[in-house]
Structure 1
């Protein structure tokens, strides 16, 4: 008995120490632990070729209590400070994008919404388990027949006495089969059997009776081997104390949650892009081709300079999110900004991995090389939490809606007055000083969204420059974005509307015309 009390007392002291030390010291301990498990006691390049992680790796890393960053101070955590959370994601993604995403799932998709919307009773129980037992949590929204169409999800719930009964299927939830806690989304079933429009969130504890989630299948995900994904059958009874309480509607709560999560993608991108930059530069400086350093070739300089520019853009996004995406803020209405941040940074992540793989060559075309697996690990970031094509289209739709409301047809005039783009508009006037067709086809909405996303990113870089960030890196970031915008505008102004030929097999064999 005394030994148990002593262990509990020691654990509380350790947690208190971890939650009061500086963020630099906190992250230093995490980095030391990652160095031990990924490079000294084992080899991360070998782990990356297998599903999951060796138990000791996750245990050792979780012993540093990294997820305490997402827990409010009044519940024993570090305070859910956005800058600290981004720094955690950055530190992890330099070593492992999968580990960083694991932290991101726990913090952005579980701990932050629980801290903001759950009852005191639920928060006390959940946060205690996270701090003392190093447990994990995730979010289930996506369904087999309703991916991007989340508002029409079919998982339903009914109410009885002190419980909610949930029934349905969810899939592609990161940490499937691992997490003990889940935020489950469902729509209430009416007496007629219909489903209400609004969406509610419930905290499910799979260790409790009646709350077991059955994993019907584990998926063979192409990348991110260390994170399990799968299809889940939901048939659970959730205590009424474990339903999240929206400040207005459940849909707005979901938007607040998802927008905040998208604003944290730069944290995962930051360490990853820096690692790609470091790997690329180190390889090119050491490699000799034709008797001279690969680093000295002009095309190599082009690739490396773009990697460095991506590093700067991501830095600007992190600084912006740290200031503007805290849990205390209502992010329901920042769809344009959040979509721009998520889509642009994930495009840059994929480009970074592709570019370093190209620089390194065949040696990188392996799962055991960080650049090669970086291609498949970063690729789903362009898909989950909103496919980039959809997010780009939504950016344009949001801008067009605002322009109609303002009765402004000139794109430059609109961008000049919009707080997300006002800093960059003048230098782009020649590109945007035209009357925008406010009835754009979908493909043009996507193209325009890609352009606007980069203009918004450019504004963030200008604001980072105001804070004193080094000028040569700022210049590189601005130049890359300007070049991207120019190229995208060229495509945007082309009008051909290619259409799919459904019966293309008829009279289309090249062999027939080769004689």
Structure 2
């Protein structure tokens, strides 16, 4: 499909591209070595409005649609994935729930600071016994007067150490299964809220994931997000909404790997010719290019469907599945093309290769996406 955007959005896209190439890329190795994103980069990102991608203008955000957001995500995905994840987790599942499901009082209270990056967002669903089986939550929420008291542990929570505002799922009625789960907006300073152990991950250096521990955590009744008992449905909505954006980030990373691979293949000589002239290498590059163009088409098709208000349960699962699988295939071929140098930690290929692997797991595994697609097909063919 042809993507047409305003001149203002195109200018913003070019500004983001310049920022990624001239600022973030220059500190990519520093992020990897220090497991920390320089404050200068974070502050510059705030000034550019990158923390407000999902937030309407009336609350201080950029007010852009999903197609436009994917264009920016594609640019952001072309750099260190730790930085990409800090931005993506905040502007995706970290804020979308409040934008889509929050009441006016909640939006006015939280979104302006989240739009500027003054307060970072995170999404807390996963637990030790509730990952893909999301309805198996053990975190409980019991109402006591004008508060809910939450107890339980979440883990693998992206942005946990940086976040100020958490969208948390907890069981309010254990007898009702999926219909007994409720969403809450929790501030890090609420009594009984603690950030636990920080995970030592295989990749995504600079992006921190940690446990969230709720010990008699006091949450005001007015911080219920959506309706009581609709938390599981809310979680599905939040995750589905963000899947086109996640695919766009994968697309940006895959395109970066293709660019690096073509450049390397044209300069690296073996048997007296550039290796791009060897059929084995040329075929890998061709396969990478086809995968990337197919992902680009599907990403913007799904993004456009979101903007048109269409039902995208199946398509969102498709683009999440395809995006993560393409990124991993492209990363594998990029490393093979680069050979030994691609395996060395001083070069970006090795980093992208490690970072790619989590995309087939987080925000819904590839297997769960296939289940969703198959379930929707079963309903369509009745």
Normalised TM-score (structure 1):
0.68
- SS of the aligned residue for 1:386 comes to coil
Which of 83, 87, 100 aligns to 2:67? It is 83
Confirm whether residue 157 of structure 1 aligns to residue 141 of structure 2: yes
Q: Distance in 1 between matches of 2:116 and 2:246?
A: 27
The residue number in structure 1 matching 2:252 is 271
Rg larger for: 1
Q: CA deviation at 1:133?
A: 5.1
For residues 444-463 of structure 1, what are the structure 2 equivalents within 5 Å? Answer: none
* Cα distance per residue 1:110-160 (max 9 Å; x no partner): 222211111211111211212345321010000012211111101110112
Q: Distance in 2 between matches of 1:382 and 1:123?
A: 32
Q: CA deviation at 1:397?
A: 4.0
The structure whose residues are more often strand, as a share, is 2
Considering only aligned residues, what root-mean-square deviation do their CA atoms show, in Å?
Answer: 2.3
Listed as ranges, the gaps of 5+ residues in structure 2 are: 1-5
The residue number in structure 2 matching 1:350 is 328
The residue number in structure 2 matching 1:188 is 172
For residues 86-235 of structure 1, what are the structure 2 equivalents within 5 Å? Answer: 86-132=70-116, 134-189=118-173, 197-198=178-179, 199-206=181-188, 208-210=189-191, 213-235=193-215
- SS of the aligned residue for 1:144 comes to coil
* Cα distance per residue 1:294-343 (max 9 Å; x no partner): 111111111101111122112112221221124x8374xx4332222111
Confirm whether residue 293 of structure 1 aligns to residue 289 of structure 2: no
Q: Is the 8 A contact 2:70 2:303 kept in 1?
A: yes
Q: CA deviation at 1:197?
A: 3.5
Q: Distance in 2 between matches of 1:400 and 1:310?
A: 27
Change (3 A) 1:358 1:276: same
- Which structure has more relative contact order (CA 8 Å, sep 6+)? It is 2
Q: Distance in 1 between matches of 2:200 and 2:134?
A: 23
The residue number in structure 2 matching 1:22 is 8
The residue number in structure 2 matching 1:37 is 23
Which of 330, 341, 364 aligns to 2:342? It is 364
- SS of the aligned residue for 1:134 comes to coil
Change (3 A) 1:75 1:393: closer
Following TM superposition, the consecutive aligned residue runs of length 4 or more in structure 1 with deviations greater than 6 angstroms are: none
Change (3 A) 1:393 1:70: closer
Change (3 A) 1:203 1:66: same
Q: Is the 8 A contact 2:302 2:316 kept in 1?
A: no
- SS of the aligned residue for 2:362 comes to coil
Q: CA deviation at 1:67?
A: 2.0
Q: Is the 8 A contact 1:51 1:226 kept in 2?
A: yes
Change (3 A) 1:162 1:247: closer
Q: CA deviation at 1:369?
A: 1.9
Listed as ranges, the gaps of 5+ residues in structure 1 are: 1-19, 406-515
Q: Which moved more, 1:314-323 or 1:180-189?
A: 314-323
Normalised TM-score (structure 2):
0.91
Q: Is the 8 A contact 1:45 1:367 kept in 2?
A: no
Report the count of equivalent residues. Answer: 375
